[in-house]
Amino acid sequence: MPARHALIWRNIFQYFPWKAFMRAPSGILRQFVLALLAFWLSLAPASADTRVALVIGNGAYVSTAQLPNPSHDAEDVASSLRRSGFEVLQGIDLRQADMQDLTIRFARAASRADVAMFYYSGHAMQYNGVNYLMPVDAVLTDEADLKRFVRVDDIVNDLQQAKNLRILVLDSCRDNPLADMLKRSATRAASIGRGLSKVEAPRGTIVSFSTQSGQVAADGSGRNSPYTTAFLKHIEEPQEIGDVFRDISSDVYDNSGKTQLPELSLSIIGKFYLNGPVSVTVAPAAPQAAPKADPCAAAEAHWKAADSIGTLAAYEDHLARFPNCIFATLAKARVEGLKQKTALAPAGNVRTTDSKDFDGSWDVTLNCPTAGKAQGFTRGLAGTVANGVFHAEAQNQNGVNRLEIDGQIPANGKTTLSARGTTGASTYTLNNLPPGSPYAFTVDAQFDRTRGNGKRNEARACNLVFVKR
């Protein structure tokens, strides 16, 4: 039995008024048994989703202050997620090589998953708007040592491979003395701020930081950090996932005396439950003649489960079970829409190209039309692709008006790239931000051998054109 189903049944047996129920007439008993069976069957499609999580707790640092809580945080979070049906990869006090190995294993697992979660507790820092996670054996004498760290952007890209829901949780932002050391030793102008740089959630993703960007979080005096304490309190509740993370943020804020407010960014459509809601009702009336079982009694619960999965198989299964019920028409529309989308999509399985076919030098043109008070602009970037890995950048002096775009191009050329940079003149920004302010966004792109095009997903609408030299 999946762990989240065990949680549902445990709630039923714990809170249901059994004494009153056993005194009910036999007709009521038969109705209840049938309803309970229908409820159980309605959960079957939801159990088909694959959930994977990578949980890391780094506290036994060699070159900087040790943290007492991350190992406990990782152990308790891993146990909680297993109870919610996750296959968990777990690492505690990881050195650089071990941390890289575990993130690679997670990337492979996420590519086969419907739901993927990354949870990190430990030291982290930002440098020029890029967030880094710190292995326990890392040293930081200059900028080159940052290559020993794990980039959060890479984790976000790995999460995007999951089909339905992606969750990034960083319980870090503790005060990191190594960041101050790097600030003093940096040989060129660099932005090294407190805490972490904000990450906007790509579509289908939840991003939750233990505190706001640019702020430092408390490590806590108990077994767990304040953020992880709230996470463990709420993550197994039968609530919609967005509400779960809002409750976590609210708890941290209230319990910290309103001094620590988690950073939360959600970009999800529809509702998703890690542990579905339970509702069991006994009718107060006692009719002598039990009516025929309603064939559509479980249709609504089954539809919610099918729609949260959102796959062709889930909708077809709903039609097979409830062909004449209220959601049948909507299920048919979903099936037709997915079939048309598949028919129009590029035939990725018949391509003979390899990701290395894109290797070479590329010219990138970013065009952002006027939006509100922000003036439009066109900007060129120099790009390269090596072994299918894309990188383009446009650098200006003093850390102002910088832009880098990175990502992996698969053989079918369809990908999501991650962009980050710092603003230039305020007249070209949506919110009149001062020059040098960090920002980030994602780009949905399609490449062929010599050309490509892309579209910016967040904030303002911008188009990108890629031309191979």
pLDDT 10s digits, 173-183: 655 555 555 55
Higher pLDDT, 439 or 215: 439
Is the torsion defined by CA of 100, 74, 134, 255 positive or negative?
Answer: positive
Which of 70, 154, 191 minimizes the C-alpha distance to 119? Answer: 70
Residues of the chain above pLDDT 90, percent: 29
Higher pLDDT, 308 or 389: 389
Looking at residue 168, its pLDDT comes to 96
Which of 26, 90, 28, 8 minimizes the C-alpha distance to 281? Answer: 28
CA distance 249 to 271: 19
* pLDDT classification of 446: cutoffs 50, 70, 90: very high
Distances (CA, A) of 94 to 103, 149, 225, 250, 431: 11, 11, 19, 31, 40
- Identical topology for domains 49-267 and 355-468: no
Tokens at 268, concatenated = 């999800």
> According to CATH, what is the number of the domain 355-468?
2.40.160
> According to CATH, what is the number of the domain 49-267?
3.40.50.1460
Q: Phi/psi class of residue 252: alpha, beta or left (left: φ > 0; alpha: ψ in -120 to 50)?
A: alpha
Beta 463-468 vs 150-151: how paired, if at all? unpaired
pLDDT 10s digits, 152-202: 999 999 999 999 999 999 998 655 555 555 555 444 434 445 567 788 888
8 A C-beta contact, residue 52 and residue 110: yes
What rounded mean pLDDT belongs to the chain?
Answer: 79
Residue type, 45: P
The mean pLDDT of 109-125, rounded to a whole number, is: 93
Three-state secondary-structure class, residue 344: helix
Would you kindly state where each structural domain of the chain is located, as residue ranges? 3-46+291-344, 49-267, 355-468
Q: Name beta bridge partners: 32.
A: none
Is pLDDT above 70 for 286?
no
Q: Phi/psi class of residue 399: alpha, beta or left (left: φ > 0; alpha: ψ in -120 to 50)?
A: left
Cα 401 to the chain's mean position, in Å? 28
